[in-house]
Each structure stands twice: as C-alpha cells, then as structure tokens.
Homo-oligomer: A and B are copies of this chain.
Amino acid sequence: MKVTINDVAKLAGVSMKTVSRVINKEPSVRKKTYDIVMNAVKELNYQPNIAARNLAGTSSFAVGLVYDNPNAYYVIDMQNGVLSRCKEEGYELVIHPCSYSDDNMQEEFVTMIKRSRLAGLVLTPPLSEQQAIIDMLDEIGIQYVRLLSGRAQETENSSNCIFVDDFAASHEITEHLISLGHKKIGFVLGDKEHKSTSERLAGYRQALQDHNVAYNEQLIYEGSYSFESGVLGAQSLLKDNNQNNITAILGGNDEVAAGALFAARLMNIDIPAQLSITGFEDSPFSRQTWPKLTTAHQANNVISEHAARLLFTKTRGSRSQDRDIITTFTPSLVIRQSTGAAADNS
C-alpha cells in the first residue's frame, strides 16, 4: 500500500540514494537515469515521507510564516500565497501569529524555529521591519525573506527582501486625484511605526510637488490602520464645515478609507460628488463600501507566493533555480466610484 523510496528504486533499477537525488533535484544525475526514476515515481505515485526527510535531513521540509497583523484579509492572502508555493515544493507551512508587544514572543519564536527545524521564514510587516528580529534571526542562522514597503535600491542587503512600492502606488493615486482637479487632498495616515505609512506619505508629497500643488501639513491626520481611525481622521480633516476645503481624502489603507467614507456619509457629504476617497491594497474592504473604493491593487497572495519562491531558492538554492521571481511589486491604480472630479468647495 505505502510506496517507499525503495519501491521506486527497485522498479527503476537503481539504488535508493539515486532516487533520493532525483526527487531532491540534486545535480550529477544523468538525464537518462533521471527520466527512468521519474517514470518509476509517477508509475507508483510515490510521495516522499515528510517525516523521514525531516528526520534524516539537516533541515526540515517546512517553512514558517510569521505575522503580527490585525488585518485578517491580509493574513489569509499571505497564507494562501505561501501555501500554494509550499505545496508545489512539497514543503509544509507552519503559521506563526505573534504579537511583537508580547514579552515572551522572542522566546516562543525561537522555540518554534528550533522545534520544527524550519528551513526558512517569511516575515511580514511590521515584524519584517524590526531590526531586533532580523538580528536575532541572523544570529540563529536561519534563512528568511522579508516583505517590505519600499524599494530595493534604498535597502541594504536587499537580496532577501520582497518589496511593495508603496511610494509609487501613493504617487499614482495622488496623481489620479490631481488629474481630476483636486488640490486640497487630505491624508489619513496609518500607524506611524509602519514603513508603509511613511512610504505612502512620501509618494503623496512627491506627486504634489511634481504637479506644483502645495503641501499642507494640516491636511495630514496621523492615525492608524483601522476603520475607526478612518472615521476619526475624516471627521478631523473635515471639521468646522471643512474649513480647509478638502475635496479628496487618501485613506492609509482600504479599511481607513472605508471609515472615512462612512464618516463622510454621517456628515451628509456626497461621495464622490463632494468628496473623493481612496484606499490602498484593494482588499475586500474596498468592495464593501458604497460607492466602491478607488484604490491601489496589491495582490498579496501573489506577493507572498514570490516571497516563498525567493525563500526556496535560498534554502535549496543550488538545486533548483527560479528565475521568474518578482522582487518588487508596484500596486496598480483601480478606479472605482469613490473618486470623481473635484468639487468646487471654494
């Protein structure tokens, strides 16, 4: 019933070690031998036993996904992306939700890594931005890939990073608004500890500058990545009967934008006739509002899949190469109904 490497070896007429070489894509196996073995593998529908591989090998066939993120959609997308790659490579995925603020987080973290003898880790923001964590991992000597907001050229040692160019995304969104005639554009920022927040702010400022629109600090609300913050931010920006004549608001992400949109409705502001609102990420949030949000599409499942790819080239680097890895993702503008021509609020 259970097919082992020996069965394959017998059928192929080679030693089990050679079969091992084939399934691990090790070099120095003759093409002919390789084919014979692969045929035997297919004929018997052989599936390597993960436990045995883990026990015998130097590192296990499992990678970890580490996150500390309240955004469930984000997490699920990340999981699915990494998982799909893991399946292809025959690896298992160990998910590790954690809380950076938790005291014994580091300890638990290390325990998990050692216990499972993980082959590598995928780190998502904001944990991926924590130098303390990076240092710890370097010390342990485990492979990892970081998901970061930003661009490679500005990051030292970017060879194990996947970037999301929030600067460009924000720039594009802002330009979109400017092209619609908006000049007074508010911004409800996300958590200031997140790199994405500063990147998005920078892209916004650059776009303003590129189009000779004055930057006004009063149009910036320092919030966090939550619906609630979006509500509060919009209320703050639009207070006193919109004294700043704001005609558009960027939400730090879709959730924030949804909150801002909600706040606008409470104030009887028509979207987009009186006010345009945009988000980031194109998460389900952006489609659960009315009108739907103009946003910057960010395929988190694809991004995380590439993070996994990159990780696999590092762990089994010499064995299988993957030349199709995208290391920088630029979210693309998705125009929906929450943006329109600037109202004349003067």
**CB within 8 Å of B: which residues of A?**
47, 49-52, 54-55, 60, 72-73, 75-76, 79-80, 83, 92-95, 97, 111, 114-117, 227-228, 231, 255, 258-259, 262-263, 265-266, 284, 287-290
Q: Which residues of B contact A51 (CB under 8 A)?
A: 51-52, 54-55, 60, 117
Q: Which residues of B contact A79 (CB under 8 A)?
A: 95, 97
Contact of A95 among B55, B73, B93, B265 (CB under 8 A): B93
Q: Which residues of B contact A52 (CB under 8 A)?
A: 51, 55
A-B contact pairs, 7 of them (CB 8 A): A50-B54, A76-B76, A79-B97, A83-B97, A93-B95, A95-B95, A228-B288
Considering the complex, give the chain B residue whose CB is closest to the CB of A255. B288
Contact of A290 among B47, B60, B76, B262 (CB under 8 A): B262
The interface residues of chain A, by DSSP majority, are classed as helix
Q: Which residues of B contact A266 (CB under 8 A)?
A: 290
Q: Which residues of B contact A258 (CB under 8 A)?
A: 288
Q: How far is the CB of A279 from chain B (nearest CB, A)?
A: 14
3 interchain residue pairs of minimum CB distance: A51-B54, A72-B72, A227-B288
